Chains A and B, each alone.
Chain A
Amino acid sequence: MSFLQALVNGALAGAVLALPALGFNTVYAVLRFPNFAIASIATAGAYAGWIANVLWGWPAPPALLVAFVAAGAVGATTDALALRPLRLRGPLTAAIGSVALDLLLQNALRFGFGNDPRGYDLPVFRDWRLAGISIGPQEVEDAGLAFITMTALFLLLRFTRIGKTMRAVADNASLAESKGIDPARVAWIANGVGFGLAGIGGTLVALDTSLDPLTGFRVLLSIFAAAVVGGLGSIPGAIAGAFMIGIGEELSTLALAPTYRTAIGFLAILVVLSFRPRGLLGERAY
């Protein structure tokens, strides 16, 4: 595979990875702990998208909307039920709880859908060939949908009242509360939006690879690496980090066996935490 081909593949993968990374950072920014349950919540979103696409026969865009709503609902509800009491005991307690929650959700999905991989019902196109590079129309469409979703998030945060209150809580939760903003309500919304993005991301990942109970878990390290590299809690950071990890993983396959590609995420975390703990675009160190 050529360098250019790896670069293109990496950029397309990065665009998809950006969605769960954005979700992870949105949740982190508002709730101030890393919610690792994002892996199985993304998988849950992918199954919801699968139900809409295969069982109901819906095309991709509305199926992604279903994935958004389902994953957002699962993420926000499980947070309120299981993790909210733990948050009071500190971010580390909540983070550990989220790992347990992830395993619980993963097994619930396994119970409901079984271990066998499922496929989506989408037309298969032949790859485009351009100057020696082959590009899959499906990947391009995925990246396009990811880009539209990112733009929607940006507009939400920048221009709407609810988006601004999310940023206010992320900046200074106690000041926000003293201005009359309800932190519990903002937490619900941030979880709904953040995990909704993860649900779309999970569906796009599943479209690209396969859908089984471990779909989200397999990309968890990449998601976490993108978030840490870009800066925990940073929205532009999540996007930058996702492209770096996506491209880095693809480029690594030029030199190493594909089984080593996950090491890229780990390496990136190691390097960033050693030299720039707040990440590329993060505002504070943790």
Chain B
Amino acid sequence: MLLAAEGLVCGYGAADEILHGAALTVRSGEMVAIIGPNGAGKSTLLKAVAGMIRLKSGTIRLNGTAVERISARERARLGIAFVPQEANIFPSMTVSENLEMGGFLEPSATRRRVSALFERFPILAEKKRTTARTLSGGQRQVLAMAMALMVAPTLLLLDEPSAGLAPLAAGQLFSAIASIHREGTAIAMVEQNALAALALADRGLVLVDGRPVREGEARAMAADPEVRRLFLGQQDLPLAGGSAPGPTPHRSTAIATRPPDPSGPGPHPLI
């Protein structure tokens, strides 16, 4: 087991508790999709694993070593690369400088990895001398992920990489994530676009109110009527306007990436 986090309890103040016994396991080379409603604690879970937030209790093992007491910096040294949902770039620095800082721990590889990333994400090459503050939201997301790839992480933690991206750009980012995964990097990814995430992932984890409520093989989870109900309720409620089953055309263009092929029954084509 690459990552085994169990019984995580933590919050932001002395009194509040956001995670009440959350758990996350990732095998080496595996990709886990973490889904759940807004405020469920998905970002908090990733922050806890990355070391950005202090645990009240729980254990986090990386390759068998307990890491819950060591700093975010030392966890980065052990191969955890974290891409936060927000504030995930250095705004006053150029795109190139951001990448260089992303590769702080492996400076000798900077040159080689920057040119590989420029090839993978041409927009970054085009904007390399641009101050990151002036990038569009989508360009920032691409930069943030590229910064994490400036090291060779053993575990990549992605918090909503597709947030704010146009469908085409989200599709491109997802296919980049898929190829990073194919190259053997273990990934834990939080995504609002639950079914797109499950389509890419090996396993899924549903987090509600700081607790894991379901965990399993991604394909089965995408077909699970309970999960579908949960996310239909969450994603389509304002627009569903009735009980009529059938295609919901406004969703059909939501994402332009490998549509899942749910083998189980499902009344709503979500993607």
Interchain CA distance A170-B92 in the complex, whole Å: 9
- Asked if A100 CB lies within 8 Å of chain B CBs, one says no
Interchain CA distance A180-B84 in the complex, whole Å: 15
| Cβ–Cβ contact B90 & A171, under 8 A | yes
Question: Which of B82, B92, B97 meets A283, CB within 8 Å?
Answer: B92
Give a binary string over B82-96; 1 marks a CB under 8 Å from any A CB, 0 the rest: 101001111111000
- Asked if B73 CB lies within 8 Å of chain A CBs, one says yes
| Cβ–Cβ contact B52 & A182, under 8 A | no
Interchain CA distance A178-B104 in the complex, whole Å: 10
CB contacts (< 8 Å) of A174 on chain B: these are 52, 72, 87
B53 to chain A, nearest CB (A): 10
CB contacts (< 8 Å) of A172 on chain B: these are 87, 89-91
B131 to chain A, nearest CB (A): 11
User: What is the chain A residue whose CB lies nearest that of B101?
Assistant: A168
- Asked if B77 CB lies within 8 Å of chain A CBs, one says yes
Chain A contact residue count (CB 8 A cutoff): 18
- CB within 8 Å for A180 and B90 given contacts A164-B100, A175-B84: no
B127 to chain A, nearest CB (A): 17
| Cβ–Cβ contact A175 & B88, under 8 A | yes
| Cβ–Cβ contact A171 & B73, under 8 A | no
| Cβ–Cβ contact B93 & A168, under 8 A | yes
| Cβ–Cβ contact B82 & A178, under 8 A | yes
Chain B contact residue count (CB 8 A cutoff): 26
- Asked if A179 CB lies within 8 Å of chain B CBs, one says yes
Give a binary string over A249-286; 1 marks a CB under 8 Å from any B CB, 0 the rest: 00000000000000000000000000000000001000
Interchain CA distance A185-B241 in the complex, whole Å: 57
Per the 8 Å Cβ criterion, residues 69-113 of B in contact with A are 71-73, 76-77, 82, 84, 87-93, 97, 100-102, 104-105, 107
- CB within 8 Å for A178 and B50 given contacts A161-B107, A164-B101, A165-B104: yes
| Cβ–Cβ contact A181 & B84, under 8 A | no
| Cβ–Cβ contact A180 & B104, under 8 A | yes
Per the 8 Å Cβ criterion, residues 182-196 of A in contact with B are 182
**Which one of A164, A170, A176, A179 has the highest number of Cβ atoms from chain B below 10 Å of its Cβ?**
A179
CB contacts (< 8 Å) of B151 on chain A: these are 180
Q: Which residues of A approach B to under 8 Å, CB–CB?
A: 161, 164-165, 167-168, 170-172, 174-182, 283
